[in-house]
C-alpha cells in the first residue's frame, strides 16, 4: 500500500481547509500582546489582498524580461550574461526557500511577509538606479530573496484564509497567481517600454508604489498561524517532507520540471527568440511572448478547477508535449503562426500542471506542514526554471539560438512524456490498491 493518503481517482483538485468551526487545530487570527484581538482586514478581504500581493510579486519578477533586449543593447552583454541575470534571481529565491521556507510556520505569516515586502522595495529601488550589469545582478538577487520568502508564506496564508464555503479557492489562486502575474508583468512592462517614457525605469517606479501598498495591506492582515517553537532550527537549509506526503510529491516532479523549464526558456530567452529568429523587435512583442504562454495558463486554472486530479495532470502533460512540439515545428519552419499556436497550447498545459500540482499539495498538507511542503515544491519548480535556462544561454552564445531552442524544446517534450508515464503508473497503482482492498474486504467478510 502507498504511504500517500487514500483518495478516489476522481477527486477534484480542491484543497480541504480546516476552519475553527470544524477543526480545533485550524489557525485563527492571533491575539495582540495585550490579549485583545487585533483589528484589521476581514478574512474575505484579507484573502483577496493576499491573492493580489501574490500576483504583484510574480508580475514584478517577470517585468525585466522585455527589458533584457534594451539592457543588451545599452550595455553590450551576451546571451550568457542575460541568462545569468535571470539565474541570480532564481538563486536568491531558492536560497530564501531553503532557509525561510518553513519560518512562517513558527513565527507567523505577517513577519515573514513584511520582511519580504521590504526586500522587494529595495530591489525596485536598485532597478530604478541601475546603470550597469552589476547593479542589475544585485537587484535581481535581492528580488529573488524577497520572492522566495514571500511565495511559500503567501501560499500558506491563502490556505489559512480559505473560505469554508469554497474549499477549492486557495488551490486555484495558488495555481493561477504565478502564471497570471508572470504574464501581466511581462506584457505590462512591454507596453510601458514601447510607449512610455524612461523604459528601463517607469515600470519599477509603478511596481514600487504597488509594493508600498502591499506593505500597508500586510500591516492590517490578521495573523493566521500560531507561534510554535523551532524557529531557529527551521532556518537551517534543508528540504524535508513528511513521509506520508512523499509519494504524492515525487509523482508531480516530472510535470513540474517540464512546465517550469518551459517557462524559464520563455522568460529568459523568449524575447530574444522573437527578435532574432522571427525579426520581431518590438518591446510589446517581447512581453507578448511571455503572455502567450502565461495567459492561457491562468485561464486554464479557472476553467479546470473542478476537474479530477488525475485527468488534469494527464491533460496538462499531453498539452505540454503537443504544444512544445508544435512550437518546435514553428521554429524549424520559421512559421510565426505555428510557434504562437504551440506556445498557447503549451500554456494551457502549464496552467493545468500548476492547478493540479499546487492544488494537490494544498489539500494534502496539514497546517503545520504547508510552509515546508510548498517550499520543497517551489525549489523543484525553480531549479527547473533556472538551471536549463542558464545552460541555454551559454549554448546560445556558443552554438546558436536556433540550435539551442531545438534541443531545449526536445528536452521539455521528453519530460512531458515522462510525466504522462508517471501519471499512468500512479493511476494503475491506485487501481491495484483499490482492487486489493476490495478482495481483502470480501475475504474478511
Q: Is 265 domain-assigned?
A: yes
From first to last of its 445 residues, the chain has per-residue pLDDT tens of: 444 444 444 444 444 333 333 333 344 444 443 334 455 788 889 999 999 999 999 999 989 988 888 898 888 888 788 888 888 998 898 888 888 877 888 888 899 999 999 999 999 999 999 989 999 999 999 999 999 899 888 988 998 888 888 777 887 887 788 888 988 998 999 999 989 999 999 999 999 999 999 999 999 988 887 788 877 877 777 767 888 888 888 888 999 999 999 988 888 788 888 877 787 778 788 788 888 998 899 889 888 888 887 889 899 999 999 999 999 999 898 898 999 999 999 999 999 998 888 777 877 778 777 767 877 887 888 889 888 888 888 888 888 888 999 999 999 999 999 999 888 887 777 677 666 666 666 666 6
The CA distances from residue 12 to 34, 115, 330, 358, 360, in Å, are 43, 35, 35, 13, 9
* CA 225/CA 106 separation, integer angstroms: 8
Is 66:75 a contact under the CB 8 Å cutoff?
Answer: no
Is 193:203 a contact under the CB 8 Å cutoff?
Answer: yes
Spell out the SS3 assignment of the chain: CCCCCCCCCCCECCCCCCCCCCCCCCCCCCECCCCCECCCCCHHHHHHHHHHHHHHHHHHHHCCHHHHHHHHHHHCCCHHHHHHHHHHHHHHHHHHHHHHCCCHHHHCHHHHHHHHHHHHHHHHHHHHHCCCHHHHHHHHHHHHHHHHHHHHHHHHHHHHHCCCCCCCHHHHHHHHHHHHHHHHHHHHHHHHHHHCCCCCCHHHHHHHHHHHHHHHHHHCCCCCCCCCCCHHHHCCCCCCCCHHHHHHHHHHHHHHHHHHHHHHHHHHHHHHHHHHHCCCCCHHHHHHHHHHHHHHHHHHHHHCCCCEHHHHHHHHHHHHHHHHHHHHHHHHHCCHHHHHHHHHHHHHHHHHHHHHHHHHHHHHCCHHHHHHHHHHHHHHHHHHHHHHHHHHHHHHHHCCHHHHHHHHHHHHHHHHHHHHHHHHHHHHHHHHHHHHHHHHHHHHC
Q: Is 215 domain-assigned?
A: yes
Domain hosting 272: range is 43-231+243-444
Q: Is 200 domain-assigned?
A: yes
Q: Is 175 domain-assigned?
A: yes
* CA 99/CA 313 separation, integer angstroms: 30
User: What CATH number has the domain bearing residue 272?
Assistant: 1.20.1250.20
Query: Which pLDDT does position 415 carry in this prediction?
Result: 94
The CA distances from residue 266 to 112, 123, 262, 286, in Å, are 30, 22, 7, 10
Specify the number of domains making up the chain.
1
Query: Which pLDDT does position 14 carry in this prediction?
Result: 42
Question: Whole-model pTM?
Answer: 0.74
Q: Is 13 domain-assigned?
A: no
Query: Which pLDDT does position 35 carry in this prediction?
Result: 38
Q: Which of 156, 157, 159 is nearest to 167 (CA)?
A: 159
Q: Is 167 domain-assigned?
A: yes
Q: Is 414 domain-assigned?
A: yes
* CA 97/CA 376 separation, integer angstroms: 8
The label of the residue with cell 487570527 reads 29
Angle at 122 between CA 118 and CA 127, to 5 degrees: 145
Spell out the SS3 assignment of 265-286: HHHHHHHHHHHHHCCCCCHHHH
Q: Is 24 domain-assigned?
A: no
Is 147:53 a contact under the CB 8 Å cutoff?
Answer: no
* CA 296/CA 292 separation, integer angstroms: 7
Amino acid at each position: 500500500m502507498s504511504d500517500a493518503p487514500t483518495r478516489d481517482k476522481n477527486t477534484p483538485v480542491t484543497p480541504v481547509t480546516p476552519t475553527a468551526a470544524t477543526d480545533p487545530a485550524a489557525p485563527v487570527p492571533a491575539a495582540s500582546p495585550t490579549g485583545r484581538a487585533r483589528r484589521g482586514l476581514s478574512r474575505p478581504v484579507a484573502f483577496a489582498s493576499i491573492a493580489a500581493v501574490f500576483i504583484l510579486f510574480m508580475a514584478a519578477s517577470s517585468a525585466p524580461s522585455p527589458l533584457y533586449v534594451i539592457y543588451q543593447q545599452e550595455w553590450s552583454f551576451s546571451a550568457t550574461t542575460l541568462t545569468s541575470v535571470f539565474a541570480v534571481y532564481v538563486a536568491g529565491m531558492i536560497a530564501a526557500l531553503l532557509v525561510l521556507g518553513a519560518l512562517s510556520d513558527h513565527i507567523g505569516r505577517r513577519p515573514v511577509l513584511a520582511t519580504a515586502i521590504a526586500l522587494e522595495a529595495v530591489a525596485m529601488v536598485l532597478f530604478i538606479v541601475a546603470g550597469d550589469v552589476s547593479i542589475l545582478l544585485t537587484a535581481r538577487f535581492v528580488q529573488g530573496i524577497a520572492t522566495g520568502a514571500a511565495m511559500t508564506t503567501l501560499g500558506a496564508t491563502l490556505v489559512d484564509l480559505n473560505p469554508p464555503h469554497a474549499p477549492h479557492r486557495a488551490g486555484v489562486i495558488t495555481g493561477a497567481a504565478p502564471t497570471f502575474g508572470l504574464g501581466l508583468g511581462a506584457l505590462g512592462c512591454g507596453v510601458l517600454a514601447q510607449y512610455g517614457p524612461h523604459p528601463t525605469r517607469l515600470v519599477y517606479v509603478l511596481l514600487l508604489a504597488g509594493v508600498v501598498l502591499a506593505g500597508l495591506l500586510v500591516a492590517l492582515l490578521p495573523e493566521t498561524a500560531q507561534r510554535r517553537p523551532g524557529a531557529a532550527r527551521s532556518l537551517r537549509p534543508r528540504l524535508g517532507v513528511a513521509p506520508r506526503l512523499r509519494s504524492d510529491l515525487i509523482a508531480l516532479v516530472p510535470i513540474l520540471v517540464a512546465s517550469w523549464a518551459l517557462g524559464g526558456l520563455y522568460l529568459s530567452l523568449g524575447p530574444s527568440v522573437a527578435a532574432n529568429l522571427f525579426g520581431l523587435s518590438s518591446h510589446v512583442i517581447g512581453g507578448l511572448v511571455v503572455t502567450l504562454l502565461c495567459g492561457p495558463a491562468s485561464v486554464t486554472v479557472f476553467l479546470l478547477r473542478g476537474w479530477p486530479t488525475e485527468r488534469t495532470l494527464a491533460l496538462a502533460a499531453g498539452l505540454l508535449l503537443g504544444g512544445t512540439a508544435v512550437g518546435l515545428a514553428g521554429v524549424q519552419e520559421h512559421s510565426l503562426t505555428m510557434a504562437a499556436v504551440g506556445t498557447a497550447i503549451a500554456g494551457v498545459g502549464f496552467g493545468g500542471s500548476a492547478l493540479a500540482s499546487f492544488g494537490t499539495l494544498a489539500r494534502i498538507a496539514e497546517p503545520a506542514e504547508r510552509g515546508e511542503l510548498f517550499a520543497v515544491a517551489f525549489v523543484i519548480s525553480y531549479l527547473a526554471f533556472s538551471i536549463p535556462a542558464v545552460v541555454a544561454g551559454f549554448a546560445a552564445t556558443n552554438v546558436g539560438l536556433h540550435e539551442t531552442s531545438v534541443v531545449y524544446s526536445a528536452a521539455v517534450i521528453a519530460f512531458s512524456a515522462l510525466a504522462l508515464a508517471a501519471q499512468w503508473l500512479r493511476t494503475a497503482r491506485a487501481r491495484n490498491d483499490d482492487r486489493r482492498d476490495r478482495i481483502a474486504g470480501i475475504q474478511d467478510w
